[in-house]
Chains A and B, each alone.
Chain A
């Protein structure tokens, strides 16, 4: 097991503990099946637009640091599309899954130029990675 993976796993376990000591924060047994390291590789596609740093600085897309459980379309300092500005709710594992599968069908009018991650495993792993970035 390499150091990066150990660190990632350690952070995941710590976050799950903080979230109540169970795996439910990531949806049942997802923490056992998702691979944040693979998610980080897939996130390279997202990173061309979306920084994921704790300085809050946005790029062409909003900074996604700590995005889990935040309000949809409300990150301070970023002007979202009308479609997302008017959306209520939070970015949960479920809403992220739906959105990442087909952003434009989920929120018609979103300005995110992205057709989606069509493989469920890819979405699982990216969400797993996102969960650790907070």
Chain B
């Protein structure tokens, strides 16, 4: 059986003193890649720690940081709490098709992930969105309106470009998101404030509200306007390009193909199914305690786990007061992503549900003789129990009353203790006041993850950007330490 999420690597090295498991192709515990990069003697490596750096979290931020450290010769250990790599991405199967239960789409306008795909020779596959043959809006009151697809896309384009009318003013260089002083003022506004300001015709407002809700995965009254304008700026302040980044191109072989390519290249050791319970900074070391009460030491640690999970880790000394305040809040999106298998081949369909609806965007992911697989996004998990087939079917039938829903699936990101939310999302006021804090090291602890990214914070690109930054910061710390000195 193919099992991309637990790749059998060529060589395994078991970390002394750690409990590891490896069984019949399903590989957990410690992995070591064939590269000898981490075995190099770079001269600045010191005795007295098990590793130069430990990375917590094996999503895109973590594997990027691991690759950056491992390939430059540092003894690198990546600890992942789940028995799989990928973090907020998860390549799986549903109804005979490969599906992405988390982060999915990529684009050449997302420079970091595109660069990684080129580096490892990974191409793209496409979601069938280029020529929709059916389009429906579910309005706030639950009524259903069919559109000629081009008309709906035009109304959405005009409305969303109005919504983002000042993106270029506030974000002239979106990868320096706080460059303009005006961002602090902008950050006081919610996405709902902007929608109300625009005075769009009712249906167009509902179309834009549904798209916004799907993008941010939050109640629009709470969702910060600045985050979405920054993302629009990242796509060149242009609606067709922005939409192309959102739902068109996927990594051929799945997100796990890129994760595997990066980690195999890293030279890092990987220990999966190993939650971290405590992080203690003492002198020039950081001591990590795992759920099996093993202690591992390193000169520095990069934390890439989602902010919402910091509350489950004991920090000594405590994190800075400003970081603690952020970590005790809820910083991830509350959205859902579902897949539904429909008996009929309905072709390329595009549906939008107004922002109070359970499903805000619904589109075809695969279609053919075996029927259709739809993918849906909703902003509010409380409105849709993704584990209840009948509830999901009812929401699909609101868009498509004539179809038979054969089954559905999704991943409960909000209930996963290692994510406690879906993708990173800013609430009102957070971007301008918290981003720099989130990026700032805390002693020998360094921070990465999409929420700490300058650019595409909600996307895989942002996670990779942050892993590159954190890797650079730790290399700088370690390389500037004098040989023979304790650092």
Contact = CB atoms under 8 A, between A and B. Distances in A.
B344 interface: no
A116 B408 CA distance: 15
B159 to A, nearest CB: 34
B195 to A, nearest CB: 30
Contact of A60 (B1, B84, B387, B415): B84
A115 B387 contact: yes
Residue picked from A53, A115, A118, most chain B C-beta under 10 Å: A115
B6 A76 contact: no
A41 to B, nearest CB: 5
Contacts of A48: 90, 92-94, 101, 409, 411
A42 interface: yes
B90 A60 contact: yes
Interface stretch (B18-26, B217-225, B352-360): B18-26
Contacts of A51: 1, 3
Nearest to B417: A111
Nearest to A51: B1
A119 interface: yes
B223 to A, nearest CB: 23
B144 interface: no
Nearest to B274: A79
Nearest to A82: B291
B236 interface: no
Contacts of B95: 44
Interface string A29-62: 0000000000001101101110101011111110
Interface string A72-90: 0000111101100000000
Residue picked from B23, B26, B406, B409, most chain A C-beta under 10 Å: B26
Interface string A108-121: 01110111111100
Interface in B7-35: 19, 21-26, 28-29
Interface in B406-463: 406-419
A16 interface: no
Interface string B283-317: 00000000110000000000000000000000000
B387 A111 contact: no
Contacts of A96: none
B6 A59 contact: yes
B409 to A, nearest CB: 5
A122 interface: yes
Chain A contact-residue range equals 35 or more
B418 A111 contact: yes
A118 to B, nearest CB: 6
B259 to A, nearest CB: 13
A56 B386 CA distance: 28
Nearest to B381: A115
A49 B273 CA distance: 14
A114 B389 contact: no
Interface in B91-132: 92-95, 101
A59 B26 contact: yes
Nearest to A60: B84
B50 interface: no
Contacts of B28: 58, 77-79
A104 interface: yes
Nearest to B291: A82
Interface in B248-279: 273, 275
Interface in B355-398: 385-390
B26 A41 contact: no
Contacts of A60: 5-6, 82-84, 90, 92
A79 B21 contact: yes
B81 interface: yes
A57 B1 contact: yes
Nearest to B292: A82
Interface of A: 41-42, 44-45, 47-49, 51, 53, 55-61, 63, 76-79, 81-82, 104, 109-111, 113-119, 122
Given A41-B406, A58-B28, 4 more contacts: A45-B386, A49-B92, A57-B3, A79-B19
What 3 A-B pairs are tightest by C-beta distance, nearest first? Answer: A77-B23, A113-B416, A58-B26
30 contacts: A41-B407, A42-B389, A44-B407, A44-B408, A45-B386, A45-B409, A48-B93, A51-B3, A57-B24, A57-B25, A59-B3, A59-B84, A60-B5, A63-B26, A77-B24, A77-B28, A78-B26, A79-B19, A79-B28, A79-B29, A79-B83, A81-B291, A111-B81, A113-B412, A113-B417, A114-B415, A116-B387, A118-B385, A119-B390, A122-B389
